[in-house]
Structure 1
Amino acid sequence: MSSGAIDIDEFENADPGGFEERTDTERIVLFLDEHDDRAWKAATIAERLGLEMDAVSATLSRLKERGLVRHKRPYWAITDDKERLHSAYRLHRHHERADEQYGAERLEELRTDEMEDVQ
């Protein structure tokens, strides 16, 4: 895709939204989820995804605090709590839609204490 064009068959067979840019956090979670049969070093995740090591380490630490990844130094793996992972994904998508509808500044005004607890 980096050339600015893709094969028409790839286009036709893609999922809706399949070409949207993903955040680094989304890319890391998807990578770990797609490779849930292995645990990975942060440096390897960074290399595979073409991200900076420091950014990957910081993101993994935040994901660990939220219970979305597991860590046994020096390895990282996706949580085995699939319901928690799905809930976090649904919440993330909800926030994206609200941000699109209301804008980031307006969304902050609408935030409630319950929303903070869920995160």
Structure 2
Amino acid sequence: MPVEFEDYRESSDSEEFDWTLREGSNAHTILAFLAAHPEQGFTPKEIHEATGVTRGSVGKTLQRLEDRQLVRHAEPYWAIGDDDRVGAYLGMLSSLETVTEREGTEDYAEWRDAANAER
């Protein structure tokens, strides 16, 4: 899906970047793979080969998952994180998806433009 590149770059560089586990995303794909093998650790190369996520994206995605405590890391291996933490995060996402289905999506660009107009 095409994005406004400058908006994306600015938002992804900020701490407020909305990074979620949408189905089909690299994060979702990697987390699902690791969750299917909870007792094992994998190298980024093994994760790439098993999931098809590009090698260049695996490391960055794993780091973001680790920042949210959804995976564990002991060089060079990565494994699924604490069950409670992963379960809570996935539960929150499920709730957000339900609200979105009922209420529709928000136009964040419209919110941003309105906030900038007030400055």
Q: TM-score range by the shorter chain?
A: 0.5 to 0.7
Deviations 1:22-78 (A, max 9, x none): 322111111101111110001110111111012111111011011110111111011
1:93 aligns with 2:67: no
- Structure 1: gaps spanning 5 or more residues: 1-20, 110-119
Deviations 1:72-111 (A, max 9, x none): 11110111x21111101011222233344321426x96xx
Distance 1:43 1:104 in 2: 37
**TM-score, normalization by structure 2:** 0.64
Aligned pair count reads: 87
Change (3 A) 1:99 1:53: farther
Give the 5 Å matches for 1:1-119: 22-79=24-81, 81-100=82-101, 101-105=103-107
Q: Which letter does structure 2 place at the counterpart of 1:72?
A: A
Query: Which residue matches 2:11?
Result: none
Distance 2:31 2:65 in 1: 9
Q: Secondary structure at the match of 2:94?
A: helix
**TM-score, normalization by structure 1:** 0.64
Percent of residue pairs identical: 32
Change (3 A) 1:52 1:86: same
Q: Secondary structure at the match of 1:103?
A: coil
Q: Which letter does structure 2 place at the counterpart of 1:83?
A: D
Distance 2:97 2:62 in 1: 21
Q: Which letter does structure 1 place at the counterpart of 2:90?
A: Y
Change (3 A) 1:44 1:66: same
Q: Which letter does structure 1 place at the counterpart of 2:96?
A: H
